[in-house]
Structure 1
Amino acid sequence: MIINKILNVDDYYYDVFMAISESLTGFSVNELQSTGLAEIYYQYILSQIETATFIEFLNVSKNVLESSENKEQLKNAIKAEIISNPATQGIAQSVITLWYLGTWEGAYVNDRSYKEGLVWTVMHAHPPGAKQPGFKSWETKPVNSNS
């Protein structure tokens, strides 16, 4: 797969981070960027773990992304080379948690990370106390409602 240049961030590894985030979360790069937290998350991870450790994770990710020719190969390569590898497994799990819950090691990254967590999109819900669903939203049946 080709890793496309994303936005105007000069750091090549940012593009790899976004591409592997897309594969780990199942959300497109555009959807991840629409949270407004992509660059913040990238910088946050760099401040939380050793740069060499994060770069190693991104290099492994880059190799997986570039060597996979289709989604099935990519899925299998991520499972074999990232998720099953003790050196990269923890970071991959933390990246997934970061995008879905907005937390890193149990703490929210900032006040927006809770509101923009992907978990709310998956649940077809809104974060209680943070983003209200809108006037008269109660009169619309929930998505996938059986009633």
Structure 2
Amino acid sequence: MNEPLPLFLDISSHLTGFSATELEATGMSGVYWDTVQYQNAPTTLDGFLNCSRQILKDGHGNEEEIHQMIASQLFPTDKFNGLAQNIINLWYFGQWVPANQNLSLAMQHNVSPEAYVQGLVWNAAQTHPPGAKQPGFGSWAEKPLSAD
């Protein structure tokens, strides 16, 4: 797995809890990969990808072991300028948060209008994004899927 986009999808899958197929189905993988490349220094991104590749290799498919390595090697905010957290924000909320904590929250931005609509937060909450992907007329009369 030397290609950066498949590696990005694989590590994103472990960070978000959604499969790589589900992530690709959002249609946002290319946009998010471009965002990650644009927002990070090449040395930071290369270090993150190399560490991710090693974690996935050393984990031998053992989810618990992979998650422990991710927590210790990718998740501390001083590692890779908080890139792991930003990848999660991208997939769930379609937003990029600047790594420099001294910057204003006004620097936080939505990657695109479609990123809002395709955010994983809506799937996780079993709902739809307000103002988009409406469930259809009269659907409010049906019990939610998780109501049983």
* TM-score, normalised via structure 1 length: 0.87
Structure 1 counterpart of 2:132: 130
Indicate yes or no: 2:142 matched with 1:140.
yes
User: What's the CA shift for 1:144?
Assistant: 2.5
Aligned-partner residue type, residue 5 of structure 2: Y
User: What's the CA shift for 1:133?
Assistant: 1.0
Structure 2 counterpart of 1:61: 52
Cα deviation, 1:11-66, whole Å, max 9, x if unaligned, reads 71112111100000000000000000001110111111212211111111111011
Give structure 1 regions of 4+ aligned residues with deviation exceeding 2 angstroms.
143-146
RMSD of the TM alignment (CA)? 1.6
Q: 1:31 aligns with which of 22, 26, 29?
A: 22
Tell me, in whole angstroms, the C-alpha distance in 2 between the residues paired with 1:37 and 1:76. Answer: 27
Aligned-partner residue type, residue 78 of structure 1: I
Q: Secondary structure at the match of 2:145?
A: coil
Unmatched 5+ stretches in structure 1: 4-10
Between stretches 24-33 and 47-56, larger displacement belongs to: 47-56
User: What's the CA shift for 1:85?
Assistant: 6.5
CA contact (8 A) 2:76 2:82 kept: no
Indicate yes or no: 2:78 matched with 1:86.
yes
Indicate yes or no: 2:52 matched with 1:72.
no
Unmatched 5+ stretches in structure 2: 98-107
Identity percentage of aligned residues: 38
Tell me, in whole angstroms, the C-alpha distance in 2 between the residues paired with 1:38 and 1:112. Answer: 12
Q: Secondary structure at the match of 1:86?
A: coil
How many residues are paired up?
Answer: 137
Structure 1 counterpart of 2:100: none
Cα deviation, 1:111-133, whole Å, max 9, x if unaligned, reads 10000000000000000012111
Structure 1 counterpart of 2:32: 41
Tell me, in whole angstroms, the C-alpha distance in 1 between the residues paired with 2:86 and 2:72. Answer: 17
